Chain A
Amino acid sequence: MSKPSPDSFVIDGKLALPYQYFAGRTGSRFLISIRDEKKIKGLKCEKCNKVFVPPRQTCERCFADISENWVELENAGTVTGFTIIRYAEPHQPFKPPYILAQIQLDGADTSLTHIVKGVALSQMKTGIRVQAKFAKNPTNSIMDIDHFRPVKPKFELGYSYDDLEIGMSASFTKTITESDVYQFAGISGDFNPMHLNEEFAKMTPFGTRIAHGALPQSLIAPVLGMKLPGLGTVIPEITVRFRKPTYFGDTVTATAEVVEFIEDRRWVKLELTWTNQRDELVAEGHAIAIPPTPMG
């Protein structure tokens, strides 16, 4: 009995009945595969050419028995619909607000209702790619998939052709030291005494040792390859005109700016400049870049 009621006009009650629900053979197989193998499976109707999830024994369209036609689905899929639950009820799996979504797993034709985490509520939208995060402790229910999270790409690729705009720029700055010059001599095999022998260098027009021209020039590589356009870029052409020498201890800034679209090939042209701490133009030129194409 529940506790006595405060008056004889209203009685507190609770509809609670200990109960065991049977998942059925098909439902059990589906849940076991998620729990033990972390694999989400669907059932395919060959006649309707449709893969259903959650599982069912019979195709609802043609009534064919499909209970043995298991197909393995990807653990990742696309959000086809969603809402943000903001009201609280005891039957909810997480404290609101949370995202409830329809997720169509790769390989399935129907979507699964589940929770999405790891997306700012204001940024949630249909079409995003998500992947299953499995529960640490088994629940023997669909919550053995704890939730779905956005698919994180293995690498954050740089700007694609469509992402780039005229005027975008990026740069990299480094102080060129004696040690850099010696290492560069080793890398290039250029042991010219004008870079390595101070007594020889005194006889040159510069009066002291200077860095190899290609050393400051190389500072544009991290700009083009890692910033603008960034990872995944291929550079088929760089041209340079050297304007000033780089002395040991100079701090050189390499800058690239998008100046032109080569529309027929979907490449871009970037203007390149190298400057030092005295605001002198060390070198200038341009590069042609093939920006990365989005993956997947």
Chain B
Amino acid sequence: MARRVGICAVAQTTVEHDKWYERFQGMALEVLEKLREQVAVEFSRHTGKAGIDMSINVSDDVFDARTISDNGMTDVLGAHFGCEEKVAQEGIQAIYYGLAAIQSGHCDQVLIIGHCKESQPKSRNMVSHMAFDPFFTRPVGLDFCAAAGLQAQAYAEKTGITDEQLAKVVVRARENAAKNPYTPEIEPVSAETVMQSEMLADPIRELHAYPVSDGAVGMVLAAEDIAKKMTDRPVWITGVGNCMDSFFFGDRDLASNFALRKAAEWAYKRAGINDPRGAFDLVEISDQYAYQHPMWMEGLGLCEEGKGGDWIDNEGPDKGRVNPSGGMLAGNPLILGGLFRAAEAALQLREDAGNHQIDDVKKALAHGVMGPAGQFHSVVTLERG
């Protein structure tokens, strides 16, 4: 059995639609300083002392408009003269990566910091458009919003989910976000306002989409023995799983949740969970669009297949303790969704969530998604130490 790995500290900046007053590095530095307030973060590996063995940056070349986007972050990551890595996948993959590095015995301590300013490119749709191939899918104008429209329509046709039910998801997300100090700009909204907001890509409305977001998030991972010395409240990573679906939409069943099912299956297997229902006291999912909230819950096996609409009407999100933070609908950059979710889950497990703390959180699930229409999913299960 591989050694256990714990999250020893987590930190995040506020998420705002335009942090014009801060550079990428400034946001990351704020995260680093908050982490150092919680645990000792040493960067003297080159002198032979114990400390951070690997720094992982989560960033995206096109969002940052510079290739090898991590090399502008070396100072903040403390990566001089040491091991520096980059995750350009969904941010939660940095946890998977750090876990693998520690469990392999290669490293004992890993620092993760992710950053993104969606406000700086002219449009985030122009960024995600670049994720498509230039021959078959870019010419028809695809970007992640258009892809989500195709998936939302397929999901709506399969389940019959209504505009009213989708509005409820947004209303609840914003109510929760009002209690979250890291989402200061999110105002509560009425169901009527949601249902009157403009259509972006039917049936997705403007208020069904996560807001344009700037922010940074980070954490410190350590092997069990070190984690126990670093903090008396470690959060153990008990399971991880991920899965990449086909690239072309026509090769996929967009309403099937194929990749998420696989990712969840592997995470549950590693965590020794036979039945996910009732296995978690908290679930943090990356709901970039309102329809994804029930759809991903179905994929995780936490809501009955095809019954996402009923689940919303029957207060499933509250009963299932899903996204008390407000989730991704309250905002965080696309590439950091899962990493923010994992940080939120850790806050809840450590009882550090403040106003939005919920009771008795001992086991939690964090989820990240990347690629058009949920092509790639990542699931991490966590447990209070």
Contacts and interface: CB of A to CB of B under 8 A. Distances in A.
Nearest to B20: A10
A100 B149 contact: yes
A113 B153 contact: no
A81 B139 contact: no
Contacts of A60: 246, 251
Contacts of B143: 89, 91
A150 interface: no
Contacts of B134: 21, 141
A81 B153 contact: yes
Contacts of A126: 157
B150 A102 contact: yes
Interface in A75-123: 81-87, 89-94, 100, 102, 104, 110-115
Contact of B248 (A87, A93, A110, A143): A110
Given A31-B135, A83-B152, A53 B250 contact: yes
A277 interface: no
Interface residues on B, range: 35 or more
A142 to B, nearest CB: 5
A88 B34 CA distance: 40
Contact of A86 (B137, B154, B201): B201
A90 B135 contact: no
Interface in B157-204: 157, 198-202, 204
Contacts, number: 110
B198 A93 contact: no
Contacts of B145: 87
Interface string A3-45: 0000000000101000001010001000100000000000000
A89 B135 contact: no
| Residue from B129, B202, B246 with most neighbouring chain A CB atoms (10 Å) | B202
A21 B132 CA distance: 12
Contacts of A113: 136-137, 140, 142, 150, 248-250
B202 A13 contact: no
B88 to A, nearest CB: 15
B150 A100 contact: yes
Contacts of B198: 86
Given A89-B123, A91-B126, A142-B139, A83 B146 contact: yes
B269 interface: no
Nearest to A13: B65
A52 interface: yes
Nearest to B254: A81
B200 A93 contact: no
A81 B255 CA distance: 10
B201 A84 contact: yes
A94 B251 CA distance: 25
A243 to B, nearest CB: 56
B277 interface: no
A197 interface: no
Interface in B244-294: 246, 248-251, 254
B26 interface: no
6 contacts: A52-B251, A85-B146, A91-B126, A102-B150, A113-B249, A142-B135
Interface of B: 62, 65, 123, 125-126, 129, 134-143, 145-146, 149-150, 152-154, 157, 198-202, 204, 246, 248-251, 254
Given A27-B135, A110-B251, A115-B140, 5 more contacts: A81-B150, A81-B154, A89-B123, A91-B129, A104-B250
Q: Ordered nearest first, which 10 A-B pairs have the shortest CB separation? A: A83-B149, A110-B250, A111-B250, A92-B141, A54-B136, A84-B202, A83-B201, A141-B139, A143-B139, A21-B134
